[in-house]
Amino acid sequence: MDNCSYDIDEDAPIHALPYEVMRDLSRILDGGDAWVELAAKMPDITVQDVDGCRQFSSTHRGSPSEYLLRIWASKGYSILSLYNLLAITRMVRCMRTMRHLIPESHHYLEEYILCADDSSLPTPSQSDAQYFKGQHASLASVRREDAQRQKLVSGYSSASQKSGGASTSSETASSGNMSDPILSALQNTLTVPYSDLQLATQNFSEDNILGRGGYGVVYVGEWKRTKIAVKRFMATGSKNAQVQRERLRQSLQELKTLAKFRHDNILPLYAFSLEGPEPCLVYQFMSNGSLEDRLSCRHGTPPLSWRQKREIAEGTARGLHFLHSIGSVPIIHGDVKSANILLDRHFEPKLGDFGLSRDGKVEADAEEKSPLIASHVKGTLAYLPPEFITNKILSTKLDVYSFGIVLMEICTGMRAFLDSRVPPSLGDYCINRRDSHMRNPGNPSLGWIEALMDKRTPSIKNQGVVVAWCEGIMLLGLNCAEKDRFLRPSFSQIVESLSKISFLAD
């Protein structure tokens, strides 16, 4: 298709499509009766409309898909509506046929579909392109209409098979979009217009920035008279297509995970927006920031108490145990670190930043098949185990190793990595201090623990109890951070171990 210039508004009705575009769309959609699948997703298209298209095709030997598009146009739908609908049904060839008529801000939908060969990605669903007639349709209404449309597709597919016709389009990755896990997960998750988020964050003002990451910026804002955090996925300073796809992949992966899994220690997702130039996720605002910030007393905040540290360690472990055990296939967070453990106003920990999360296998005996090999996880180096750094081996034991480093941070108040420290890695530093202490038989048995304990944390009357708790935490942390992944405990064992040492008094 020659991408010549047309002076056409994307909000123009579908029947304003250039002849060449309508012709090419009809040829694609007529093949394999793909137009029937398209009709099944069209708001306001009835069984009678589809029967009329069939009758037009048999009586006038015309294109049923062109007739369908003209019917839909008569009901007030625009060129942009059609492009979004083609994204829902994963009809990439059709999207490319009319791409030159669509604003670039909507072209990300094609990138979304191009990522579909990654098995960890959700498939496109109606939640990603529901802006028909310029309105933001609710997922609930989409779901109500889908049952009737699915019957329409099933009924016609059955009839086509009896007559020897093709039942599905070669363009669709699957005919089972109705069982799409992300659509199911997002059923009770709000959508929010991008313009609302611009207003909430003062047009994503620099003054509203809470933090930055590899693929996004987090802003504080106010929406519906509620303080919120908005993660705006953006590949700063790069036009590289691979980077843009990774940005989109991470936003969708995080959206899928947070919408599907609800737990007291997982960051609550309020809403999402996919209509703007960048995908955005809206979260509950965590008024006490991250564990990393509180351990370093950032902005002059008071240090955490030992009780608060204990509760943060236990809550984080429960959240990770939930992810690893909730289904037949565990969810690997992939980026556990103190910066991604957020604290609400009661200092309850919430796991955040699920952009690197993956479905994965449970770590088991060495005789079993190799764990999943990952190529995209980019977690902070100090929190990553040797098997991942060297061979990109991804298993539940990656999260265990990372959590072990977090436990050491909680106990010592030290950063996970510090250039001026020898060795700079906190895990290696704690091992060296322990081994050095143990080499001298005259040293008190807990001397290395007391030397490493966070001196900023307020003492309590029975400080011996704190020392004993820190010993348990440090030993558990070192066990979690074993170089050999087969020696690391599971999160079921970690939660049990933490409960056994939870005798800390106020």
Q: For residues 112 and 128, is the Cβ–Cβ distance under 8 A? A: yes
Pairwise CA distance, residues 423 & 230, whole Å: 37
309 is in an annotated binding site: no
Residue 56 makes CB contacts below 8 A (sequence gap 6+) with 62, 64, 67
CA 297 from chain centre, in angstroms, equals: 29
**9 labelled catalytic:** no
Catalytic residue among 24, 33, 335, 353: 335
Q: Is 213 exposed, middle or buried (0-12, 13-18, 19+ CB in 10 A)?
A: middle
Pairwise CA distance, residues 440 & 436, whole Å: 7
Count of other CB atoms within 10 angstroms of residue 447: 14
CA R_g for the chain: 27
| Residue 497 C-beta-side C-alpha neighbours within 13 Å | 23
Task: List Cα–Cα distances, 443 to 136, 422, 439, 463, in angstroms.
Answer: 68, 22, 9, 19
Q: In 3-state terms, what secondary structure has residue 373?
A: strand
Task: List Cα–Cα distances, 297 to 181, 212, 312, 429, 474, in angstroms.
Answer: 41, 19, 16, 22, 21
- Between strands 349-351 and 358-359, the pairing is unpaired
Q: For residues 401 and 485, is the Cβ–Cβ distance under 8 A? A: yes
For residue 438, the one-letter residue type is: M
Closest of 174, 10, 172, 177 to residue 92, by C-alpha: 172
Structure tokens at 266: 């997982």
User: Which amino acids are annotated as binding site for ATP, given as ranges?
Assistant: 231
Q: What amino acid positions are annotated as catalytic residues?
A: 335
